[in-house]
Amino acid sequence: MNETERAANPIGTEMIFEDDRVRIWTIDLAPGEEAPFHTHLLDYTTVTIEGDMVERINADGSRDRIAAQPGAVSRWYQSTQRHGLKNVGSRRFRNVIVEVKSLPADFGERSAG
């Protein structure tokens, strides 16, 4: 992924690693900061590092408030394909996103198991 592609669809605030199998991003937002809208094209998993409350702004205009639990793991099917993220909490929010390049995103109904 080149710089132009990253800027056009920023999955996180910084891509920290990429090889032929995965891309790893971080999101780092101070209270009140927002990550821009982006579209998930690949299967991904997130791990929350710190924070207390975020708001996912969905492409349809709806908003979901989500408690940020350090150490929590979230799978891609627990999200929406296109969204932004805002730190509405009182603490810095940080997470790590791991995209699997060989697995295109599929946002159909899935069970959490």
Per residue of the chain (113 residues), give pLDDT as tens: 777 777 788 889 999 999 999 999 999 999 999 999 998 889 899 999 999 999 999 999 999 999 999 999 988 766 778 899 999 999 999 999 999 999 888 876 554 44
For the entire predicted model, the pTM comes to 0.85
**Which domains does the chain show, CATH number per domain?**
3-104 (2.60.120.10)
CA distances for 92 relative to 8, 32, 53, 68, 70, angstroms: 25, 9, 9, 10, 11
Tokens 């099917």 belong to which residue?
A: 77
